Amino acid sequence: MLVEFVASFALAAAPTFEAYLRSEVRAATTGEADAQLNPALTLKIPTGAFTFLTAYTPRLLLFEPNVPQKVAVLNNLRLAGELRTGKAGRLLLQEDLSYGDASFSWLVTAAEGGIPTFSSLAYLPIFKYVSEATTLAIEQPLSRKVGISLSGSYTISGGATAAAQQLSPLTHSPRVTARLVAAMGPHDALLTQFDGYAIYFPGLKTYAADAGLGWRHQFSTTTDGEILVGLSGGRSVSSVEIDNQLWPYFGLRVTKKFLQTQRQSIWGTLSLRILPTIDPITGVIYPAAESFGVLNYSPMSKVTLIFTLGGSLSLSTHVHQNLGLAGATVAYELSQHVTLSGGARLFTFPSIYTRPLDQAPLNNQYQVTGLGFLAITLSERTRL
């Protein structure tokens, strides 16, 4: 998948250039059909302790001849510099730029891998979008058993035109995260985590933060997990009122290898979080439960089946923002450079395109969309 493809370059040891193309055709239950192209060009240049990476990963959507818009293009550019500060320490500075016709629907973004968007952005129609994000991250061991990671980012994103800003306003969003891990033995570690961010809307500033204490445990050579509990809160500041709220915070992640042989493997991962969520369109803040699971099964060499299931549930009686998704993919590796895949995806969301976020859908109606797809992936890596 595209996210794993780009991330893999951070582990390479030699200068590399890679070209990648994933093309997908699909037909939806609504009768519509389209095609998606995800090319990627990535260049990584290591020079001693410093590594420079640049990646251009556009998304092209091609629509049926009988629709007004024939092509939608979203340009994505990443520039990153990483400085190794020892065997385990690193300093990362990263710039991400996006501009073009964006869709955050899981029916589209699932073709690129990664975690789905669990917010009202996920069911917006395609709109002209712009985003600029600067991130500074530090990972540093404090001792043989204690390590810390810190990151700060500032993002400007939203509609790129006046019409698009009616769907998604242009917002500014600073974010700070910190995580401290202290090993307590060969199989256990204590965790401390903080995540705080804000979204500045025209006439409204909304803040959210969560802090938790937890435990990581290696249950066996095939199973590990971690759990975090704590408090979270939100604050909304407008010209007419200031609203403060406090909720519990919970995070759980489990990864397990059910089977691992030379010819077969089965592994899965499951995450669950209860955390404050700021809606990126209205600025409404509310607690939500999010879950996402993946099951990966390789019954034989070169064949992989991937099953995904996830969703988001609002825990506020004033906000009706529930999303669900599911998917199944089978992939066959024809060669080192060619992979064929196909499958189906399902996405459900409230029918509130024209209703405020804090109002329930009429008759609790939800829109359900499914599609089937076929895809081919081509890749080539060259050492410089």
Domains defined for the chain, CATH in brackets? 2-383 (2.40.160)
Q: Looking at residue 321, what is its pLDDT?
A: 83
- Specify burial of residue 240 (Cβ count, 10 A radius: 0-12, 13-18, 19+): exposed
At residue 305's C-alpha, the angle toward residues 303 and 309, to 5°, is 165
Q: Which two tokens stand for residue 7?
A: 């991330």
Per-residue pLDDT of the chain (384 residues; tens, 9 = 90+): 444 444 444 444 678 999 999 999 999 998 889 999 999 999 999 998 999 999 999 999 999 877 677 899 999 999 999 999 888 899 999 999 999 999 999 999 999 988 899 988 998 999 999 999 999 999 999 999 999 999 999 999 999 999 999 999 999 999 999 999 999 989 999 999 999 999 999 989 999 999 999 999 999 999 999 999 999 999 999 888 899 999 999 999 999 999 888 889 999 999 999 999 999 998 999 999 999 999 999 999 899 999 999 999 999 888 878 899 999 999 999 999 999 999 999 999 876 544 445 554 445 577 889 999 999 999 998 887
Q: Looking at residue 228, what is its pLDDT?
A: 97
Q: Looking at residue 8, what is its pLDDT?
A: 47
Give, as one character, the DSSP assignment of residue 347.
E
This prediction's pTM = 0.88
Q: 141: number of CA atoms within 13 Å, CB side? A: 10
Place of tokens 């969703």: 311
| Cβ atoms of residues 376 and 22 within 8 Å | yes
3-state per-residue secondary structure call for 84-143: ECCCCCEEEEEEEEEEEEECCCHHHHHHHCCCCCCCHHHHCCCEEEEEEEEEEEEEEECC
Q: Looking at residue 13, what is its pLDDT?
A: 62
| Cβ atoms of residues 88 and 141 within 8 Å | yes
Q: Looking at residue 158, what is its pLDDT?
A: 96
How many whole angstroms separate alpha carbon 195 and alpha carbon 210?
A: 5
Q: Which two tokens stand for residue 88?
A: 């385990």
